[in-house]
Structure 1
Amino acid sequence: MDRAARSRTRGVATTGALLAAILIHNLTYPLSAAGGAWPALFYLFYATIFVAGTWALSASRAYRTGAALSGLAVFIAGLANSYAPGPAAALAVYLTSMAYHGVMIAVLARYTFQARTVMTDVVLAATSLYLVLGSAFSAVFATIEWLAPGSFATSSGAAITWQQMIYYSYVTLTTVGYGDITPTGFYAQAFAAFEAILGVLYTVLLLSRLVGLHASEADRG
């Protein structure tokens, strides 16, 4: 196997593992509120996946440092919120999560849109980027609700939890809009609309990019 083939194989393995880790994180978030060692294990996993992804996909010292520092901050804030919950600890989780996601978004966007050929690793990275955008907006919405309680309302009248924010964010990003959670505050509505627009634009831009790269490859061939 030549160097280029090894590099492609390594890229597919890295982006595939990152995508799988993001899916596992999104599905196992309730563990952060479980008892015993589960919150610590969950936040250790959460604080590791973007750091590992950044170091594997980017050689930038700034990105690597940002991922490591924000990952450590997320871990500390997550433990504090799980074992000594309170308004300040919850806000710390939201703010550190936004910073942590921001680094991963930058790394994945650069990896995806600077690619010169359509490869499996690019598609996997683009999919991961889409999922990271959704979970990043969860932290944004949670921060809005923290700053202005009642910015979101549920059809059942129940209080909105972090897990529901993740659900609502992905429903908004994909423009499904079930309507069981409704943004009622000004900032909640503004950011919900922005996320919905971003989800549509991302899909259009990504498809245009991939089709353009494929066409260029066909012309060269």
Structure 2
Amino acid sequence: MILARAPQTNRWLTHSRHGELLLALVSLIFIQSCLSAENVVHRVVINGLFFLVVLSAIRSFSGSKLRMWATMFIGGLAYAASWANEMAGMKGLAVASDVCFAFVFVSLIHAVGVNVFGEGSVDADRIIGAVSIYFLIGLLWAFLYTLVELFEPGSFSFPVQEESLTQNARLISDFIYFSNVTLTTLGYGDVVPMSRPAKMLAVLQAMVGQLYVAIVIARMVGMQVSQRGVSFKN
């Protein structure tokens, strides 16, 4: 009897299109917070975690193989550029890596969003996808903040100034924290945007974070009400 019930208990994991992606995103955020951006090996691990997120998104692109392979290719370029930056320490390589990863996260948000906000019933996969989008928005803005700081050093004020702003992983680690704090509108104030582009990005992210939660709740409730209405008619 126990063996017969086990597959049904874990059905939401085995059939979820976005389950692996959410697990990779949560793992990335928690693991990178335990690593030191000053350590070369740790920075390599952080870059590897970002590429792991790209690989875990394969099932999210099940509707378009062309988009899936294009995203995998660009993610590979981003990972290669981050490796090259570790060896050469060139600002251009850091910018290229960030642009590629930002493109990957935009593509992921779109792919998952099509499933979450499309027609159909509200199920565990939609909820997991909606949560994944929220994490993806936080990571996307982290790369946007990093690009602003790389192009205009001093755009953000940190509690402890970094020795080298060209080390991409150092900025990413700081901005993952700042991005999620801004997205949830906590606003601790330890990292402060100074330049106009930085301020506008922070304000825009805070607005997106609030609107996204409201839109997702409204959409899910609307779909649930519509689903119940159809069931009552039948």
TM > 0.5: yes
- Residues of 2 paired with 1:80 and 1:97: CA distance? 15
Contact 1:66 1:103 in 2 (8 A): no
- Residues of 2 paired with 1:115 and 1:9: CA distance? 22
Residue in 2 aligned with 1:62? 66
Residue in 1 aligned with 2:202? 192
Contact 1:57 1:111 in 2 (8 A): no
Contact 2:98 2:143 in 1 (8 A): yes
Please say if 1:28 is aligned against 2:31: yes
Contact 1:48 1:71 in 2 (8 A): no
Please say if 1:100 is aligned against 2:104: yes
2:178 to 130, 149, 168: 168
2:113 to 102, 109, 114: 109
Please say if 1:213 is aligned against 2:223: yes
Aligned AA (1:68): M
5+ long unaligned stretches in structure 1: none
- Residues of 1 paired with 2:45 and 2:156: CA distance? 30
Contact 2:37 2:173 in 1 (8 A): no
156-165 vs 186-195, greater mean Cα deviation? 156-165
- Residues of 2 paired with 1:86 and 1:144: CA distance? 16
Please say if 1:84 is aligned against 2:88: yes
CA root-mean-square deviation: 2.5
- Residues of 2 paired with 1:57 and 1:97: CA distance? 16
SS at match of 1:150: coil
Number of aligned residue pairs: give it.
215
Larger Rg: 2
SS at match of 2:15: helix
- Residues of 1 paired with 2:78 and 2:102: CA distance? 9
- Residues of 1 paired with 2:80 and 2:37: CA distance? 13
What is the TM-score when the length of structure 1 is the normalising length?
0.86
Residue in 2 aligned with 1:152? 156
Contact 2:20 2:56 in 1 (8 A): no
24-33 vs 56-65, greater mean Cα deviation? 24-33
Q: Quickly say closer, same or farther: Cα 1:79–1:46, change in 2 above 3 A.
A: same
5+ long unaligned stretches in structure 2: 163-169
The percent of aligned pairs where both chains have the same amino acid is: 23
Please say if 1:47 is aligned against 2:57: no
What is the TM-score when the length of structure 2 is the normalising length?
0.82
Q: Quickly say closer, same or farther: Cα 1:151–1:108, change in 2 above 3 A.
A: same
Q: Give how far 1:92 is off.
A: 2.0
Q: Quickly say closer, same or farther: Cα 1:144–1:41, change in 2 above 3 A.
A: closer
Q: Quickly say closer, same or farther: Cα 1:209–1:104, change in 2 above 3 A.
A: same
Contact 1:98 1:140 in 2 (8 A): yes
Contact 1:54 1:67 in 2 (8 A): no
| Cα deviation digits, residues 48-104 of structure 1 (max 9, x gap) | 432442444432133213211211111101211233323222212211111111111
Please say if 1:133 is aligned against 2:133: no
- Residues of 2 paired with 1:32 and 1:66: CA distance? 29
